[in-house]
Amino acid sequence: MEKIIPREIEQQIQQRIEAAEKEHGVKVLYAVESGSRAWGFASPNSDYDVRFIYAHPKDWYVAVNLEEKRDVIEYPIVDEIDISGWDVRKALKLFKKSNPSFVEWLQSSIVYRDDGVFARTAREILSSSYSVDKGIYHYRSMAKTNYRGYLRKPMVPLKKYFYVLRPLLSILWLEKEGTPAPIEFDKLRMLVETGSELDYAITELIKRKKLALEKEVAPAVPVINRFITTQLERLESYAGLDYGNSFDYQSLNALFHQVVN
């Protein structure tokens, strides 16, 4: 685990994961940091966004009313720790759809729990089955929503720039590499020409973001807005790259059986 998580916070997170296991009678297979701390541009008061995948004992899944059973565990935010998880069956069903959140969790560099099987096997499946098109459509929607909702005013929330820049750079990565985009912003921004006006503006924005509080606002940055509008206009007519990748239930079922057994 990277050292950006203070030791006392990490201990609290581990205690809450263990408490969730005891309370719900489950085993946590994989737990990571998601959100701005994993992306690399957290504010001083950013929440710790802990997400995990868990499994019940095998018999829990052998039930007439399985579809009616709750398949998420959620807790209120306490001391800036936001922790929640998905049942493994729910996670794998969403994985088949190349769910962006799950794909990003698999790539987080801040790992709190790893059973050594689930995430490793899921990554192996991901490498040959990820849908680039679904990723692009998701990131385009995320960028468009945040831009239209927050960044077309004279004064804008600083953090919302990253909720638009990160998905747009992720799309550029997907178009260029044809593989899941990394979640670390520093890796994505390598797609921006070094020394360019946009590169300089992003560097300054990162400096300000790391010192600013979560809801701090500042004047809009014209050069970044131009990049955003140009990319969104380009992507309006996106018709798909048709890489032909698709998940098959055989590999997902095999992983599910391995976990619950």
161 and 103 together in one domain:
no
16 and 65 together in one domain:
yes
Quote the pLDDT of residue 2. Answer: 45
Tally of domains in the chain: 2
Identify the CATH number of the domain in which residue 75 sits: 3.30.460.10
User: Does 241 fall in a domain?
Assistant: no
117 and 225 together in one domain:
no
Q: How confident is the model at residue 244 (pLDDT cuts 50, 70, 90)?
A: low
User: Does 2 fall in a domain?
Assistant: no
181 and 116 together in one domain:
no
pLDDT at 37 over 50: yes
Q: How confident is the model at residue 1 (pLDDT cuts 50, 70, 90)?
A: very low
User: Does 177 fall in a domain?
Assistant: yes
User: Does 95 fall in a domain?
Assistant: yes
Return the top range by mean pLDDT from 56-60, 133-137, 247-251: 56-60
pLDDT at 65 over 70: yes
Quote the pLDDT of residue 3. Answer: 47
Long-range contacts of the stretch 186-190 (C-beta < 8 A, 24+): 186/40
**What average pLDDT does range 81-97 have in this prediction?**
96
Q: Which domain holds residue 222?
A: 132-235
Specify the higher pLDDT residue, 3 or 72.
Answer: 72
pLDDT at 190 over 70: yes
188 and 92 together in one domain:
no
**What average pLDDT does range 12-35 have in this prediction?**
97
Q: How confident is the model at residue 129 (pLDDT cuts 50, 70, 90)?
A: confident
What's the per-residue H, E or C state across 64-84?
CCHHHCCCEEECCCECCEEEE
**Contact status, residue 108 vs residue 32, Cβ threshold 8 Å:** yes
